[in-house]
Amino acid sequence: MTELNRLKTIGDDAADLADRAAALDSSDPLAGFRNQFIGSGDPTITAYLDGNSLGRPLLVTRDRISSFVDQIWAKRLIRAWDEGWMDDPVRIGDQIGRVVLGAAPGQTVVGDSTSVMLYKWIRAAVASQPGRDEIVVDIGNFPTDRFVVEGIAAELRMRLRWLEADRRSGITVDQVSAVIGSRTALILLSDVAYRSGYLADVPAITELAHDHESLVLWDVCHSAGVIPLRLDDWQVDLAVGCTYKYLNGGPGSPAFGYVRADLQHRLRQPIQGWMGSAEPFTMAAHYVPSDGIRRFLSGTPSIIGMLAMQDMLALIEQAGLEAIRAKSVALTQYAIEISDQLLAPLGVEIGSPRDPAVRGSHVTLEHPEFRVATARLWECGVIPDFRPPDGLRIGLSPLSTSFGEVYQGLAAVRDVL
């Protein structure tokens, strides 16, 4: 095919894809939610394709934060601790559990950053498994997960059993089965691979861990709020997730942690702070843990950091996670369709599973020029993110992303290439 004919074919495909985006948006039952986000009509942003790194703020959040400053912080002052702030980590934790985790009350708490909560959950888990000195972890997991567990292993002189998967997929049941044994204290995995978007078989891997009397900790940062989870039904032991991605809590909003109810008495809080003690305001001489999930708190929680996520949780509950997941599948499938037609002729390859049953809400595209291309895309208002060595990650948050936005963004990728 001559260069002229190739470009003509790409042009014809682009017109068809643009028409398809318009049709998909017109029939989208969740399309109306997009207008509730600040910036959805900003002319300086052609396409925001990084909702799996930082979600857009909601319009109602602006009012919530303003009201908080004027009516609660300014007028109630320190009295607000007794009037609700002390209960917020567990109250909002229960809301997260109900809306996105499939968890009964009393098992989820909002507290520290993801890194700190991972440290606390891992450290508590392995300490509860005397005689076991191995941790199974994915070498392709997000750096924080790997760095934290490396530090704990060095601290406790434990052995790490590293799993390695194809970077375009993720860890399977068979891979875990090959290394788990009587020495395994904990398995640490992400249910959605941060690079490829691969969706792990959480129920099967969790059951395998239990067959070997091991605990399993799931990092649910890339699934919470976009993929229906059933942590109670799956008998998951532990989970940690962030709130600034699909829960739209804002930059630096605190993470949440889940501990199955029957494990809570067995796990000892490794960072003993006043907020997790049985009676914080008695200023006791020695630490006595609070009952239940509250014992996993350490220091003073970020009350302001918990404001925005409440608005998104309400929106998710209104839309329904099953409907959100259906749109997520449609968005990622459409992104792959665009890539196959417009970008594959330019050398772009799909770095994510094509099967939607094992794909989260982002798609990674691969091309050796994507590091340079990402900077140019940002300059023209198209915002994906780059993941080494050559991945352009397209993160699609269903309630704030339109099909037209996906088309405009990936058409810009074609132009830049």
Catalytic residues: 142, 219, 244-245, 393
Tell me the C-alpha to C-alpha distance, in Å, between residue 78 and each of 133, 278, 299, 302, 388.
45, 20, 16, 14, 46
Q: Over the chain, what HEC string results? A: CCHHHHHHHHHHHHHHHHHHHHHHHHCCCCHHHHHHECCCCCCCCCEECECCCCCCCEHHHHHHHHHHHHHHHHHHHHHHHCCCHHHHHHHHHHHHHHHHHCCCCCCEEECCCHHHHHHHHHHHHHHCCCCCCEEEEECCCCHHHHHHHHHHHHHHCCEEEEECCCCCCCCCHHHHHHHCCCCEEEEEEECECCCCCEECCHHHHHHHHHHCCCEEEEECCCCCCCCCCCCCCCCCCEEEECCCCCCCCCCCCCCEEEECHHHCCCCCCCCCCHHHECCHHHCCCCCCECCHHHHHCCCCCCCHHHHHHHHHHHHHHHHCHHHHHHHHHHHHHHHHHHHHHHHHHHCCEECCCCCHHHECCEEEEECCCHHHHHHHHHHCCEECEEECCCEEEEECCCCCCCHHHHHHHHHHHHHHC
Q: Which residues pair with 184 in a beta bridge?
A: 134
